[in-house]
A and B are shown apart, each in its own frame.
Chain A
Amino acid sequence: MTLLSPPPMPGTSGTGVNPSHPDGADDQPRTVGRLTQDDIASLVAAFVGSLALTWLVYFQLLPLSGKVGFLFCWYAAFLAVYGLVSSFGNPRPVVVDRLWGAAVAGAAGVVFFAVLSVAIYTLVKGEGAWIHGNFWTHDMAGVGPTETLTHGGITHAVAGSLIELAIATAVSLPLGIGTAIYMVEIGGRFSTVVRTVVEAMTALPDILAGLFIYTVLQLGLGFQRNGFCAAMALSIMMLPIIARSADVSLRVVAGGLREASLALGASRWATVWRVVLPTARSGLATAVILGLARAVGETAPVLITSGASTFFNTNPLKNPMNSLPLFIFSSVRSGEPTYITRGFGAASVLLVLVVVLFIAARLLSREKTKR
């Protein structure tokens, strides 16, 4: 299906004469499935033609402006010209094929352009903040609203995020994997209920997790705004994610392995602990990382529960505790340009964090498929 030709094999020409071809004719593999000249010519012609046409009409004949509009019109003109050019000497199915191919590639192009622009824009806009050393070593305590970017930093938000995530993981990891073990290894009618509820809870809008904790822990039980409440809200978000993906990775452990273990005289507990969990370990690690990647960027729950401090605080039970997403949110909301830049700086850190977690999850699951 690919349009790529394999690279020519080095050192085959002239050497090792094939006895059945005494003339020494080269035995090079042929390139197949390459684009025809007509394919390439039509594509290039449509590309250039539509660019010229659009430029002429858009800027010269009509009083239009704006880059977005130009790109839109160019793409539309390109499809029209491409279809027209292709219809000379090609049957209808080929024309349709080319147009849809162009449309599909266009959609994919827009999406990938967008995702790259998100990443690049965030990193570039944040550079003004993260380029300074103090951004990595200070908190925002006592930094006035007009202070330049050489003051203040995000250590308090990073520390807060890490502490909240650690607590949330400590709560949701055993519960999530325990639930998955229950659903897969014990089973029964009651487990269907648990599975249905867990599935439903993955759809819980994030704001509701925060609101629930706010109402129950803070209004009901009198907790102050602190990191612990935020961690509880995050663990409500993480729990169903971990339970569900751990459920999937335990279920794909082949039943034959369990039988083999039981047939050796192992108890069910020993089978789960020594055979099922080690076999599924990379899947379980991926489940936890997916939960972490989700929780680290959750803004709505921490917005409601933790309170945005400006100072470094490592005690989750006392005083508000900031976190990266909350810091980004409040910085951007302030409208102050230096704060917005700091927000982008923090967003760069958050983005890199998510990418790192994501790559870790990928590597783990790749290791699994290799086995």
Chain B
Amino acid sequence: MTAVADVSPASPLPDDDKPRSLGSGIGGSDRVFQVSATGVGAVVLVITGAIGLFLGYQLIPTLHNYGLGFFTRAVWNPEQNLLGISGVVVGTIEIAVIALAISFPLALGTAVYISEYAPNWLKGTLVALVDLMAAVPSIIYGLWGLLLISPHALYVARWINSYFGWVPFLKVDTDPRAAAFSAHNYVSSPFIAALIVSMMVIPMACAVMRGVFAQAPIGEREAAYALGSTRWGMIRSVVLPFGRGGIIGGTMLALGRALGETVAVLLIISPEYDLKFKPLEIGGITVASLIANQFNDASSSQLSALLAAGFVLFVMTIAVNTVAAIIVNRSRSGAQTDA
């Protein structure tokens, strides 16, 4: 018979019950692995961090050359070396906000449709289509907007001007009812640029919103239906409240993308660097398109100024994105990873 050992403690309990050091006997290859993986992480941190620091560092020569007026002036005149970015920053925000105003209802509607209305056989295709839309390069949206949308958008702009021109920021400095329609006042406007940008950000916002809607608990949905709710009643009382974080977060992610868009804006807009709030009228600028327009002929101090403007853009984008990421992550608290 196997001796079942007497398992009562052989010796009295020791008094010095202190933790001992662990992790001995880890092989040499693992140390190499640990060190090299950390090294890669550090290199990437240095590269990416360097960009932020480098851009931020350009604020010093810029403020030295152009003073605090760099932030308040609304002019970009390289010949007289008179630079200021207030008009540019305002223009950037203006285009992003208009793009958001257009894209928000469309993205929300599309997300609700895909998640709640679309028949099952269509759902997968629509989800793929939205994801694909996010992958389409912005230059292609730019072409589409410049040559297909812009000629039609003129009339929408004119219509808004003629009926809502009494609202200050919807006014265009031309007579909307003039016999000869002066199209050149309406082209290349921030409004049209924002229209194109909104097409680019819809898929981002829509994908985030749809992801959150799809997680709305089935039990609550069925509870709403069991109370005799219509489909919209269920959406309003269950899906939308559940997805609020996703709606806000997705919209802010879209805002971050809209702020940084370069090429589509560059193709559409006619550059103007002063401070104005007339989105329907020709002329405007964003930070990104300012850089693309001006980097080539810039002197070294002007290049610093462009980089500093880039830094301002970068800070805005990161702030918006970080807040968005926090909101989205919080709303997805149910989905844990098994790590």
A residues at B contact (CB < 8 Å): 1-4, 66-69, 93-94, 96-97, 100-101, 103-108, 110-112, 114-115, 117-119, 121-122, 125, 174-176, 178-179, 181-186, 190-191, 193-194, 197-209, 211-212, 214-216, 219, 236, 239-240, 243, 251-252, 254-256, 267-270, 272, 290, 293-294, 296-300, 303-304, 325, 328-329, 332-333, 340, 343-344, 347, 350-351, 354-355, 357-358, 362
Contact = CB atoms under 8 A, between A and B. Distances in A.
A186 B41 contact: yes
A208 B337 CA distance: 33
Contacts of B140: 118, 122, 297, 328, 347, 350-351
A97 B233 CA distance: 7
B133 A115 contact: yes
Nearest to B43: A175
A140 B339 CA distance: 53
B48 A201 contact: yes
B260 A68 contact: no
B37 A181 contact: yes
Contacts of B47: 175, 236, 239
B40 A179 contact: yes
29 contacts: A93-B230, A96-B232, A97-B231, A101-B232, A104-B113, A104-B116, A107-B109, A111-B106, A115-B133, A181-B37, A182-B41, A186-B37, A190-B42, A199-B321, A203-B256, A203-B317, A205-B260, A205-B261, A205-B287, A205-B313, A206-B260, A208-B291, A236-B51, A297-B139, A329-B263, A332-B146, A343-B143, A347-B140, A351-B140
Contacts of A175: 40, 43-44, 47
A199 B262 contact: no
Nearest to A366: B124
B338 A254 contact: yes
Interface stretch (B26-34, B70-78, B271-279): B26-34
B317 A205 contact: yes
A111 B33 CA distance: 48
B138 A299 contact: yes
A201 B50 CA distance: 11
Contacts of A97: 230-233
A207 B318 contact: no
Given A198-B44, A243-B44, A104 B112 contact: yes
Contacts of B288: 205-207, 300
Interface stretch (B5-13, B151-159, B183-191): B151-159
The 5 closest A-B pairs by CB, nearest first: A297-B137, A107-B109, A205-B260, A178-B40, A182-B41
A304 B109 CA distance: 38
Given A2-B120, A117-B148, A201-B51, A108 B44 contact: no
B121 interface: yes
Contact of A110 (B37, B106, B129, B143): B106
B29 A267 contact: yes
B105 interface: yes
Interface string B67-105: 000000000000000000000000000000000000001
Q: Which of A110, A181, A211, A236 counts the most chain B CB atoms within 10 A?
A: A211
A176 B235 CA distance: 40
Contact of B307 (A103, A191, A215): A215
B106 A215 contact: no
B263 A104 contact: no
B182 interface: no
A3 B287 CA distance: 49
Contacts of A104: 109, 112-113, 116-117
Q: Which of A179, A206, A240, A300 counts the most chain B CB atoms within 10 A?
A: A300
A315 B10 CA distance: 77
B174 interface: no
Contacts of B129: 112, 115
A94 B229 CA distance: 9
Contacts of A114: 199
B325 A199 contact: yes
Given A183-B41, A211-B310, A111 B119 contact: no
A358 B131 contact: yes
B161 interface: no
A354 B135 contact: yes
Nearest to A258: B339
A182 B38 contact: yes
A179 B139 contact: no
A211 B292 CA distance: 9
B141 interface: yes
Nearest to A343: B143
A111 B206 contact: yes
B314 interface: yes
B41 A191 contact: yes
B161 to A, nearest CB: 14
B106 A107 contact: yes
